[in-house]
Amino acid sequence: MKIKKPNIGILLFVLVGVVPFAAAFVYALLYSFGVIGVANNGFTFQFWESVLASGTFFTSLRYSFMIALVAVLISVGGALWITLKFREQLEKRFLSFIIYLPLAIPGIVTGFFTFQLFSKGGFFARISHKLGFITEASQFPDLVNDGLAIGIIFSFITMIMPFFVLLFLNVYKNERVEELSILAQSLGASANQITQRVFLPILIKKTWVLIVLYFIFLLGAYEVPLILGQESPQMLSVLIIQEIKQYDLDKISEGYVVAVLYTLIVSIAAIVLFLPKKNRAYAN
Partner 1 sequence: MRINWKPFVLSLAVLLILFPFVYLVFLSLASEWRFPDVLPSYIGFKNWVTVFGSETGLLQSFFSSLLISLSVAIFSTTSGFLISKAVFYHPKKRTLTLLAYFPYILAPVVFAACLSFFFLKMGLFGNMTGVVVAQFIIAFPYALLFFSSFWNEKVKSYEDLVATLGGNKWQTYTKVLLPLAKGLLLICFFQTFLISWFEYGLTSIIGIGKVQTLTIKVFLFIKETNYYYGALSCCLLIFPPVVLLYFNKRYVFKKLV
Cβ neighbours for 249, distance < 8 A, ≥ 6 positions apart? 37, 38, 39, 40
Nearest approach, Cβ of residue 55 and partner 1 (Å): 20
Closer residue to partner 1 (CB): 153 or 236 = 236
Nearest approach, Cβ of residue 254 and partner 1 (Å): 13
Closer residue to partner 1 (CB): 64 or 181 = 64
Nearest approach, Cβ of residue 180 and partner 1 (Å): 19
Nearest approach, Cβ of residue 43 and partner 1 (Å): 18
Angle between helices 150-174 and 107-118 (to 10 degrees): 130
Closer residue to partner 1 (CB): 78 or 184 = 78
Closer residue to partner 1 (CB): 105 or 184 = 105
- 235 vs 4, 5, 244, CA distance in Å? 46, 44, 14
Nearest 10 degrees: CA dihedral of 158, 161, 163, 166? -130
Decide: 140 and 124 in contact? Cβ < 8 Å: yes
Neighbours of 126 (CB within 10 A): 13
Closer residue to partner 1 (CB): 85 or 176 = 85
The dihedral region occupied by 55, where left means phi > 0, alpha psi between -120 and 50, and beta the remainder, is left
Nearest approach, Cβ of residue 45 and partner 1 (Å): 20
- 91 vs 102, 170, 174, 235, 280, CA distance in Å? 16, 11, 14, 37, 31
